[in-house]
Each structure stands twice: as C-alpha cells, then as structure tokens.
Structure 1
Amino acid sequence: MTQNKLHADWQIDRIMSEIQQASDALAHIGQAVSIFGSARIRQDSPWYAQTQDIAGRLATAGIAVIAGGGPGLMEAANKGAHEQGGTSIGLNISLPHEPTNNPYQTLSLPFEYFVSRKAAFFMHSIGYIAMPGGFGTLDELFEAMTLIQTGKLPAAPIMLVGSSYWNGLIDWLREQLQTRALIGPNDLGLLEIEDDTDRVVERIIQFAGCITQDAGSRESCILP
C-alpha cells in the first residue's frame, strides 16, 4: 500500500468520524437555522448588530442557531442566541488565523476538515441565512443552493441579508448563468434577498411553523 493511499484512508476515517460525532451531538437540537457570515467583520459594524439581533430573535422563538464558531459575524450569531438563552452551536474549524473560538456557544464541535463541517451545517437546518462574507460564506451559500437545487437537501429558505451587498451577485448569476441556460429558469427563486430584520425572522419562523404542521410538504411551505 502506498503512502498516499495510507494518508487518504486516514483522512477518510477522520472525516467520517467528524461527521458521525456531529450527527450524534446534533441529534436532539430540534429545528435549527444555519447563519453564515464573515470572520473579518468587526463588532462595531451594523452587520454585526443585525446578525446578533436575528440570531437572538430566532433563539427566543425556540429555533437553534448554528454558526461557524469563530469571530466576526459567526460570533455575532452565536452571541445573539446565547444571550437569549437559546441553543447556540459553534462548528469550529481549525485555522491558523482563527486560533480561538468565540465564547458564546452552548454546544461547541471541533472540525479539522471543511467537508465534514459543511455536512454538519446541513444535517438539521430548516433554513439558511447568509450575511455578508467572503470565500467561506460563498462556499457555504453555494453548497446549500446546489444541494437544494438537486434535491439532496429538502426545500428550505435561503435568505441573503443585505441587498447592497448581494444584488451584484444576483445580477451576475442572472446575466451570466440564467441567460446562458446554465441554471434552470426558476433556480434563482431559491434565494430571497432581504434587508429588514423583522421580515428575515418572520420568514424563518413562518417556515418552521408550516413544516411542523405539514412535515411532508416543504415545497409548499417554501413559497413566500
């Protein structure tokens, strides 16, 4: 057996172990929402305050909040849920430029690999909220879109918060992908852009209540 094969087998074992540990840890959290956002946005940013507010309101409504466990908007999401006495989950990735986890986590899960960490985001989430962010946020956002588009995840709202930040991306997707038929004519309907905190929270709570009443009809619940 080659050294490369041994290393690959070891990585697979580690990844599967991380996924299994996350599955066991998250098995009883109930309804949850994943909030994505930049580690680089400071506490004095309006986006930090808005993220904290959204997470706090969801926690008050009994919905668990899953975030990346790091600084910036990940911290804001965990802090909002934690300070309202809710379930605040941090999926903490080992990175040299993020040496410490934020302290606002009621459940903290460590990850070495992004693939297993992303799987944990999608295990129990009934919705996804993307705040402004960089490559990591875009990676998580597009994975959620792809998995829902292809039916690998059940239907769920994907909220993009901050029209001034996200409109350019949506314009590009429409002009470059949709007009070339590289995505379906209705695929951009997976995304909802919103600025108003009240409407973001209401949308998630509405969806949570709808699927509770009719668990077999998420597609009908996703309609705005």
Structure 2
Amino acid sequence: MSDKITSYRGAVRIKRSKGPVVTLDQSLLDTQAEVRDRTNEGVGDAWRALRIQSEFVEGFGALSRVGRAVTVFGSARTHPGEKYYEMGRELGRGLAESGFTVITGGGPGAMESANRGATEAGGKSIGLGIELPHEQGLNDWVDLGINFRYFFVRKTMFVRYAQAFVCLPGGFGTLDELFEALTLVQTGKVTRFPIVLLGVDYWSGLVDWLRNRLEAEGMVSPGDVDLLHLTDSVDDALHIVRECGPGGDLGEVDPAK
C-alpha cells in the first residue's frame, strides 16, 4: 500500500509522504506562522490577492455561457442506491429535461447523484471542486469541472450562475452553503430565487427551530423562514424552480400545484 497521500491545489495534483497537509485556504486564514510556512508559498498577502483574482477570472470565464442553471447542494457521504442519492439523481434528470444546467460541488454522494441524473438525461453537468487536505476529486459525471483553491471564490460561483438552489440532506458544508444562499436572498443581495429543501424528515426540525426560535423571538423578519420550501417530492421541487424565476413572487408558489 502506498505511503503517499494525494491532495489538490487548484488544478494541480500533489502526491506526498503521509503527514499534515495544509491547503491554501488554511494558509490564508490561519494566523499561525508554522501553518503558513508549511505551504511553501513564499509570497505575501499582496501577491496572494492576484492568485485569488485569477481564480475569479478563471471561474467567470469558464461559466459565462452556462445559461439557466440550478445549484444543488448535498452530502458527499450519500451512496448509490440510498434514498437521497436516488432523489438527487431524479432531480438532476428533471432539471436537465427542464432546460437547466446542474451545478454541484463536483464531489461524490449527493453531488454526484445530481450530476449523474443531468448527464443521463443529456443535460449540462458542472462540478465546482475545492482543494481539500484529502483526495476527493471531481466525480465521473461532471462535463465541465473547475477545481478551486479558495472556498469563498467557489461559493461565489455557486450563486452567480444559479436561478435556484436545491439542498439535499448534508452536513456542515451543506448547511454553510444553505445559509449563505438564504442570507443573500433575505438581504436582497441576489434576486429572490427559490431555495428548496428536499427531505422533510431531515430538514423539518431545522425549519421548525428557525420558525419557533428565530422568527418567534424577532431575530428574523416575519416571512423570512418562508423563503425556504420544504418538500419530499422532486416534482414539487421542479415546479418551484420553474415557477420562481428571477423576479418571481415566492409567496404565491403552491408546491402542490
């Protein structure tokens, strides 16, 4: 068995002896000099800013002709044959058949399932990967893939080219992406695109907490929680996405229509 581990630095694939792997994201955000030194960057923040700029330029250039798209979030730990994997596959297929490009984080699990469904239906399938301390790579169902070094650049691309967001069950990363999208919609930083949560059993506790705590105690405005559409039906999710285009009135959508 090899004593090497693989990591990715943007488009670069690196094999090294086992030991701590420091990503460029960590190097940027961690104040410990020893962490910065382990990246062997040899550059200051001013030079790093140019590298960040180059990632934005590369992402914008690659995605500029995407057209109508939907970003699908979800766990990398979902497996083929499981309920939510198959739901993601059905979702990807339905989005492609409705004329939407499917954008995911490009990894395995729920991301793979949505990319797979889109590809199987003859649609466009995009994966936006991220440099991680461990090997992940892009799944085999991605037609156009970009590997990013910085999470915040990648998250901008998720939002910039999407007309809607659909969240399958996931962990901290999915929650991070969900609440960033929700905050951008709530504050008017992006047009009021729909945000759909697929999986009532999984998400209902969170939605109830948002309504019974945040909204009830005045931490968010009345109606803010209604920006989230909770359903078990892929057909309902597709209906919401189709009906809630840019400038649409989310409050008038009936997911059971």
- State TM-score, norm by structure 2: 0.79
* 1:16 Cα deviation after fit: 2.1
- Pick closer, same or farther for the CA change 1:176–1:221 going to 2, 3 Å: closer
Aligned counterpart in structure 2 of residue 47 of structure 1, from 80, 84, 89? 84
Partner of 2:181: helix, strand, or coil?
helix
Matches within 5 A, 1:19-98: 19-98=56-135
Matches within 5 A, 1:66-145: 66-145=103-182
- In the alignment, which residue of structure 2 is the partner of 1:214? none
- In the alignment, which residue of structure 1 is the partner of 2:40? none
Match for 2:204: what amino acid? N
* 1:221 Cα deviation after fit: 6.0
Partner of 1:181: helix, strand, or coil?
coil
* 1:25 Cα deviation after fit: 1.1
Moved over 4 A (4+): none
Mapped partners of 1:15, 1:192: distance in 2: 34
Alpha-carbon displacement from aligned partner over 1:186-220 (angstroms, at most 9, x marks no partner) = 11011000101111112212334xx5xxxxxx143
Mapped partners of 1:160, 1:53: distance in 2: 15
Alpha-carbon displacement from aligned partner over 1:121-159 (angstroms, at most 9, x marks no partner) = 011100000000000000000000000111111111100
Could you tell me whether the CA contact under 8 Å between 1:32 and 1:127 is conserved in 2? yes
Match for 2:229: what amino acid? E
Could you tell me whether the CA contact under 8 Å between 1:71 and 1:98 is conserved in 2? no
- Which consecutive residues of structure 2, in runs of 5 or more, have no partner in the other structure? 1-32, 37-42
Match for 2:249: what amino acid? S
Partner of 1:183: helix, strand, or coil?
coil
Q: In the comparison of the two structures, how many residue pairs are matched?
A: 214
Partner of 2:249: helix, strand, or coil?
helix
* 1:107 Cα deviation after fit: 0.7
Mapped partners of 1:125, 1:145: distance in 2: 13
Partner of 1:125: helix, strand, or coil?
coil
Q: Does 1:181 align with 2:210?
A: no
Mapped partners of 2:135, 2:63: distance in 1: 24
- Pick closer, same or farther for the CA change 1:123–1:79 going to 2, 3 Å: same
- In the alignment, which residue of structure 1 is the partner of 2:22? none
- In the alignment, which residue of structure 1 is the partner of 2:8? none
Partner of 2:145: helix, strand, or coil?
strand
Match for 2:224: what amino acid? D
| CA RMSD, 1 decimal | 1.8
Mapped partners of 1:93, 1:197: distance in 2: 27
Partner of 1:39: helix, strand, or coil?
coil
- State TM-score, norm by structure 1: 0.90
Partner of 1:142: helix, strand, or coil?
helix
Over alpha carbons, which structure has the higher Rg? Answer: 2
Could you tell me whether the CA contact under 8 Å between 2:227 and 2:250 is conserved in 1? no
- In the alignment, which residue of structure 1 is the partner of 2:19? none
Identity of paired residues, percent? 42
* 1:172 Cα deviation after fit: 1.2
* 1:222 Cα deviation after fit: 6.1
- In the alignment, which residue of structure 2 is the partner of 1:12? 49
Partner of 1:92: helix, strand, or coil?
strand
Q: Does 1:170 align with 2:170?
A: no
Match for 2:196: what amino acid? M
- In the alignment, which residue of structure 2 is the partner of 1:206? 243
Mapped partners of 1:221, 1:168: distance in 2: 22
